[in-house]
Amino acid sequence: MSATAMEIAGLTKAFGTNRVLRGIDLELARGEVSVLMGANGAGKSTLVKVICGVHQADGGTMRLGGRPFAPRTPIEAIRAGVVTVHQNINDGVIPDLDVASNLLLDRLTEPGSGFFLRERELRRQAREIAASMGLEVDVGRPVRELQLADRQLVAIARAMAHRPELLILDEPTSSLSAAEAERLFALLDRLRDQGVAILYISHRTSDIRRLADRIYAMRDGAIVGRFSEKPLDYEAAVTAMLGQGLDEIALDHNMPGPPVLEFRDVVLEPGARPINLTVHRDEVLTVTGLVGAGKTMIAEILFGQRAPLSGEILLEGRPYRPRSAREAIDAGVFLCPKDRGSTGIFRDHSLARNTTMPFLERFSHLGFVNTRSEARATRRMIDELGVVCQSEQDDIGTLSGGNQQKIMVARWLGQPSRVLILDEPFQGVDIKARRDIGAKIRETTKGRATIVMASEMDEVLEIADRIVVLSDKHVVGDHRNNKDLGLREVLAQVAGQEKALTGQGEETGHAP
């Protein structure tokens, strides 16, 4: 058996006059994790879609296990041994079916399998698959009722059930906690030991350092860097990916203005300790913590999607308890949600309509939308955030994930607000896009309070004036982000250790 699972040579793909893949050469070895890095628009998604049969290449060849490989559909790719878990979780699961049906759906639809498998046998097999990767869920529960992280794990478990030769994972940890991510990493270690080739698409430093055997850097539709010598040179890979180095971020910190938002003994759920917190005008407050710490709960309370168990919230000194998203928007409190696929973008609509949808009355007169004004506002945000597109009338679905994220952020940055909450605004975007978004958030922060929910420490350090740490639905740390920041203390608090680690020197500054 060849040591190479897949060989790609001279692969090309164009959409009209747009050449997306320009002679891709790639080797994916058995028993290795190959990390693919590339800026948004580099062609990563198109390459993956060609490999998994969504698109057909215009030129070049692919070989799987030494045999010609040119799938015409995703089903053909799966049957050949190539399985993909896409970044959009809803592409990997069917929310209205239960977990068992999702885990075994591909097997049930194979010719001759007999679709009407007894429910008892179906659930027994599903429990075996779930147990093999440490997925602790009721297999009879509908997927739509699961938390985002559990839905992601179901999508990954469904892929694992095929025992693939090549497993492709696109930003699989973007919605997982550290413990859930480590469970996935342990599973990938076992698959690697079993000889499975893994193509892992990510920009997360922690993921890459934990998993990568080699790194491929992609730019403008071509592979521009190959890194396999240990230790892997992550910084060189980033430079190759972007075509230039990235200087360290030197924040020009804002002086906090008057209080805008106050939490007074706010309890998020039974058993949680009360939160007392003040957020000021002109500052960027970053709330960090593990998945489940309470970040999204706070965002949803402020946006009228849930109520606190007890306590009081004040908005500019007055009681604030919105009963709906519309009430929150009317009060000047905006939320950019973290789940782009299901709650963030309006599918089958243009970029212009995606940017203006919550504020259409501001672009309307006598019930008619002023499309010129709408287009003008959208073009301004496209230019300011560097969205890669043809025009503001493009369908949102034609954009890469990172550019969709920019449009979603642009929607809420484009209108004045009193409080702007951004829940994981850098989820699934590359380093350059992250810094484009972060720079725009900071550039527009004057006149409002800005709250950014973020799990990755390098993201936190790049944008925050002030860092609040949540653990178990309670504030365990409140820090100014400056040269005196005790990073070891912050990380200890994020991990749930309220007393900082001591005895080995204090880490400070901005090196994540």
CATH of the domain at 300: 3.40.50.300
- Same domain? For 335 and 443 the reply is yes
Same domain, 305 and 438: yes
By the 8 A CB rule, do 444 and 463 touch?
no
Copy the structure tokens of residue 235. Answer: 């910084």
Single out the residue in 195, 212, 247 at which a domain terminates.
247
Residue 14 located in a structural domain: yes
Alpha-carbon gap, residue 32 to 47, rounded angstroms: 19
**Do residue 140 and residue 175 come from a single domain?**
no
- Do 340 and 422 have their domain in common? yes
Inside any domain, residue 500? no
pLDDT value, residue 340 = 58
Q: pLDDT tens for the chain, 512 residues: list them.
A: 458 999 999 999 998 888 899 999 999 999 999 999 887 678 888 999 999 999 999 999 999 999 999 999 988 998 899 988 876 666 667 888 888 888 887 666 555 555 455 778 888 888 888 887 767 788 889 988 887 667 877 887 887 777 789 999 988 876 676 677 787 888 888 888 889 999 999 877 778 889 999 999 998 899 999 999 888 888 788 888 877 654 555 567 778 999 999 999 999 999 999 999 999 999 999 999 877 789 999 999 999 999 999 999 999 999 999 999 999 999 999 999 886 555 567 777 888 888 888 787 778 777 787 888 888 888 888 888 888 888 888 888 888 777 888 888 888 888 899 999 999 888 767 777 788 889 889 999 999 999 999 987 778 888 999 999 998 899 999 999 988 888 788 878 887 665 444 333 334 343 33
Q: Residues 6 or more apart from 22 whose CB is under 8 A from it?
A: 12, 43, 220, 221, 222
Secondary structure of 444-499 in HEC code, one letter for each residue: CCCCCEEEEECCCHHHHHHHCCEEEEEECCEEEEEEECCCCCEHHHHHHHHCCCCC
Question: Do β-strands 275-280 and 259-267 pair in parallel, antiparallel, or remain unpaired?
Answer: antiparallel
Give the strands of the sheet with 259-267, arranged side by side: 275-280, 259-267, 310-315, 318-319
Structural domain count, the chain:
3
The residue out of 130, 161, 192 marking a domain boundary is 161
Do 186 and 317 fall into the same domain? no
Same domain, yes or no: 29 and 42: yes
> Which of 362, 356, 405, 358 is closest to 385 using CA atoms?
405
Is residue 228 a part of any domain in this protein? yes
Instruction: Note whether residue 438 is domain-resident.
Output: yes
Q: How many CB atoms lie within 10 A of CB 233?
A: 14
Given the structure tokens 């699972």, which residue do they identify?
Answer: 5
DSSP letter at 247 equals P
Helix (H) or strand (E) holding 60: strand 59-64
| 105 φ, ψ (degrees, to nearest 5) | -60, -45
b/e map 395-421, b = 16+ CB within 10 Å: ebeebbbbbbbbbbbbbbbbbebbbbb
- Give the helix/strand (H/E) hosting 64: strand 59-64
Residue 426 in domain: yes
Q: Is residue 112 part of a domain?
A: yes
Which residues on adjacent β-strands are paired with residue 263? 277, 313
Q: What is the C-alpha separation between 294 and 220, in angstroms, rounded? A: 39
Q: Of 186, 217, 247, which residue is a domain's last?
A: 247
Q: Are residues 184 and 145 in the same domain?
A: no
Least Cα distance to 323 among 342, 309, 302 occurs for: 302
Please give the full DSSP string across 205-223, using - where no structure is assigned: HHHHHHH-SEEEEEETTEE
Verify that 175 and 188 share a domain, yes or no: yes
Tell whether 413 is covered by a domain: no
My answer on whether 76 and 6 are in the same domain is yes
- Residue 455 inside a domain? The answer is yes
Please work out, in degrees rounded to the nearest 5, the angle formed at the alpha carbon of residue 80 by the alpha carbons of 204 and 200.
5
Q: Judge if 28 and 125 occupy the same domain.
A: no
Task: Please give the residue range of the domain that contains residue 329.
Answer: 259-346+418-494
- Given phi > 0 = left and psi -120 to 50 = alpha, else beta, which region is 318? beta
Q: Retrieve residue 8's tokens.
A: 């790609």
Instruction: Please tell me whether residues 297 and 446 are part of one structural domain.
Output: yes
Query: b/e map of 3-42 (b: 16 or more CB within 10 Å)?
Result: ebbbbbeebbbeeeeebbbeebebbbbbebbbbbbbbbbb
CA distance 302 to 428: 24
Question: Are 338 and 432 in a shared domain?
Answer: yes
What is the H or E stretch that residue 352 is in? Answer: helix 351-356
In the three-class reduction of DSSP (H, G, I as helix; E, B as strand; rest coil), residue 364 is classed as strand
Instruction: Supply the DSSP symbol for 232.
Output: P
Could you tell me the two tokens for 230? 């240990």
